[in-house]
Amino acid sequence: MTISRSDCVTMDAGDPLGSLKARFTVPKHVIYLDGNSLGALPRHVPERVQHTIKSEWGQDLIRSWNSAGWIDLPSRVGGRIARLIGAAGDEVIAADSTSVNLFKVAAAALALRPGRRVIVSEAGNFPTDLYMLQGLAALGGAVELRVVAPEDIEAALSDEVAALVLTHVHYKSGRVHDMARLTAKAHEAGALAIWDLSHSAGAIDIDLNRDGADLAIGCGYKYLNGGPGAPAFLFVAKRHQQGFHQPLSGWMGHAAPFDFVDDYAPAEGIARGLCGTPNILSLVALDAALDVFDHAAMGALRAKSMALGDLFIELVEARCPGVFGLLSPRAAVDRGSQVSLTHGEGYAIMQALIARHVIGDFRAPDVLRFGFAPLYVGFADVWDAVDHLAAVMASGAWRDAAFAARAAVT
């Protein structure tokens, strides 16, 4: 017998993380299943950003770089993210975008492995990862990007390879790579392992140092809830920091930026990962958003997100039998915090769902993505979302021509 709505309400009532939902501003009538793309707004963030704008910027002006500690925000926020990803506080810094940070760490990996010019990544990786690596290779220096099928990754790790670049949780399918195993394989070949944690940070209890990761990057606007275009982060394992030389050698990564000397000299430690002036308003929003994680252990969040995903799969299969393909791994341990279904009319179906205030997203050609951010999604939300999905499919509501018109962002 399938689980009932009242069972789900009972599960929510017994959920120790259930009260955290009240810390977010998701409208009452909305079921938000897209935290894997843009995290929801924590309630207290606007006030913090307002304070920075009105008081620190408006009143204290440029003095706030010192008096409000703006200059330290990249490392302070980095240190808070470090706790969520199994890194030491001085191994992570918040800066720039994930794309830009990938360029920095991939170039630095080549410098850390002199004599090796090959970077290996997987076909179907998130496009910006492949595009940035293509851009790095196009700069010259005989750098070669080898993009291989997921099942060929280990075989591609030869003694020519400087770095293996993988996304830990696949953006489309939600499949989780075995970080410890693939990092060890990269090391056996003498290569470094670079992990894109965009769909992992804040969703999965990762431990970069336990798993031996060398370098990592990730988004601040997905499960970390930092807001649209929030600063990203980069991780450099302590053992590599001395030899870490990234080519975007802007003044904020200089050992003494306010000496204003002509020649670049990298800062000690993770600060050399910086480039230009930090985006303070966005960093303040991200810093405030991270407060929510002070109230939840990553292990508990992961356990809840796996249970939410399992419930969703069970209900979809019971309520819409044979209608959708399941792109995500069925086993929760192999899945990030999302479930991806496939359907040839996926775009229109997702639009019809969004019209009913159940918000997920669509990835071409046929993937409906549903993210289960455990901080603010409950079990009854999952039940209601599937109820709407079943209604959309039973009524054929998705056939309305209005749902076929593609917007710029899907």
Task: Indicate whether 99 belongs to the interface with ligand PLP (CB under 6 A).
Answer: yes
How many residues belong to the site for ligand PLP (CB under 6 A)? 13
282 lies in the site for ligand PLP, by CB under 6 A: no
Interaction between residue 165 and ligand PLP (CB under 6 A): no
Interaction of residue 56 with ligand PLP, rule CB under 6 A:
no
Give the containing element (helix H, strand E) for 65.
Answer: helix 64-67
Q: How far is the CB of 171 from ligand PLP (least distance, A)?
A: 4
Which segments of 200-332 are extended strands (E)?
215-218, 232-236, 325-326
For 282, how many CA atoms within 13 A lie in the half-sphere containing its CB? Answer: 19
Classify the C-alpha dihedral 83-87-88-91 as positive or negative.
Answer: negative
Other CB atoms within 10 A of residue 97 CB: 18
Please tell me whether residue 75 binds ligand PLP under the rule CB under 6 A. no
Do residues 80 and 216 make contact, with C-beta atoms less than 8 angstroms apart?
Answer: no
Is 173 a binding residue for ligand PLP by CB under 6 A? The answer is no
Contact between 195 and ligand PLP by CB under 6 A: the answer reads no
By beta-carbon proximity to ligand PLP, the closer residue of 97 and 121 is 97
3-state helix, strand, coil in the chain (%, to 5): 45, 15, 40
* 370-409 binders of ligand PLP (CB under 6 A): none
Instruction: Round to whole Å and give the CA distance between 58 and 51.
Output: 9
Rule CB under 6 A: say whether 167 interacts with ligand PLP. yes
- Of 24, 70, 103, 126, the residue at the interface with ligand PLP (CB under 6 A) is 126
CA–CA gap between residue 97 and residue 18 (Å, rounded): 31
198 binds ligand PLP per the rule CB under 6 A: yes
Q: d(Cα 62, Cα 70) in Å, to the nearest integer?
A: 10
What is the Cα 399 distance to its own chain's centre?
33
User: Alpha helix (H) ranges present in 320-378?
Assistant: 346-355
Secondary structure (3-state) at 169: strand
Helix (H, G, I), strand (E, B) or coil at 273: helix
Catalytic one among 96, 287, 369, 381? 369
The answer to whether 126 is a known catalytic residue is: yes
Nearest distance in Å: CB 197, ligand PLP:
8
**CB closer to ligand PLP out of 174 and 378:** 174
Q: Which of 129, 287, 361, 381 binds ligand PLP (CB under 6 A)?
A: 129
Query: Does 223 help bind ligand PLP (rule: CB under 6 A)?
Result: no
Is residue 219 near ligand PLP by the rule CB under 6 A? yes
Catalytic residues: 126, 196, 221-222, 369
**Residue numbers at the binding site for ligand PLP (CB under 6 A):** 97-99, 126, 128-129, 167, 171, 196, 198-199, 219, 232
